[in-house]
Amino acid sequence: MTMRTKHSPNFNERAGGVAPTVLILHYTGTKTAQDAEDVYMDTNPPKQKSPGPVSPHYMIDYDGTVTQFVAEDKRAWHAGASWWDGRDDINSHSIGIEIVNPGINYGYVDFTQAQMDALHVLVQGILSRNPIPAHYVLGHSDIAPTRKPDPGEKLDWAWLAARGIGLWPQPDQRDYDLGDIFLGNAADLHRALTEYGYDPRLKLDELIPAFQRHFQPDAFVDPARRGRSDRELAARLHWLLRMKNTAAKAPTP
């Protein structure tokens, strides 16, 4: 993995001096890596309109080159208005990684294997230095479902989970049976999604697509299933809740 360093001016101190406990993955949503870098360094040309001061801790280019823009102990500005599991200042609690990809605005493409390999190595290092549980490895769309679709359904979360990064649902029969309870009415499903961490202020039809982008991408790319709850979604959600609850009960090392 090739690493380089740039010093973005867009950062400040983490509120209350908290340690990062959340990892957020993004795509850049820019035509090129240079366009993204220009935004993060506040040198963006007129052709690439900036949404305002933005910075990730890291960016991964198509060839796997990693650029660090903000030190891990500082508060980068990547999450924006967001919420997860009771936290609303996600920037103070998180480390943000941008993966170069045009995204839905410029022609969403598959992430390269070089990007995935670099992401694996980079995140393994981050996890060795920071107390981030598997259920707090998230996409931007998880913490801001109504604003952000990234990193989107093309990111191979299952591949990452097999390498110890984040969670990928592996429901068994009890998850299907008990997950059926969530399908009894909309309130039960909404409650389960927010128990996992999604923003309770949002509507169910705003949360389901976000869940699918991360944990059920095959449903998201099928127009007939996109945004619709089904037994597979409920079983996967039940499995994720089991993993989260198991982690909460585990003794602190």
For 13, the enclosing helix (H) or strand (E) is strand 11-13
pLDDT tens figures, 64-110 = 999 999 999 999 999 999 999 999 999 999 999 999 999 999 999 99
* Whole-number pLDDT of residue 45: 67
Domain tally, the chain: 2
**Residue 123 CB neighbour total at 10 angstroms:** 22
User: What are the catalytic residues?
Assistant: 98
In this prediction the pTM is 0.96
pLDDT interval class at 63 (50, 70, 90): very high
78 and 10 in a single domain? The answer is yes
* Whole-number pLDDT of residue 52: 77
Structural domain of 206: 173-249
pLDDT interval class at 1 (50, 70, 90): confident
**Residue 239 counted as domain residue:** yes
**Residue 51 counted as domain residue:** yes
151 and 183 in a single domain? The answer is no
102 and 62 in a single domain? The answer is yes
| CA-atom Rg of the chain in angstroms | 18
* Whole-number pLDDT of residue 222: 87
Total length of the chain: 253
The CATH number linked to 86 is 3.40.80.10
Domain final position from 161, 185, 214: 161
* Amino acid making up residue 64: G
CA dihedral 7, 76, 248, 241 (to 10 degrees): -120
Q: pLDDT over 70 for what percent of the chain? A: 96
Domain final position from 161, 191, 226: 161
pLDDT tens figures, 143-160 = 999 999 999 999 999 999
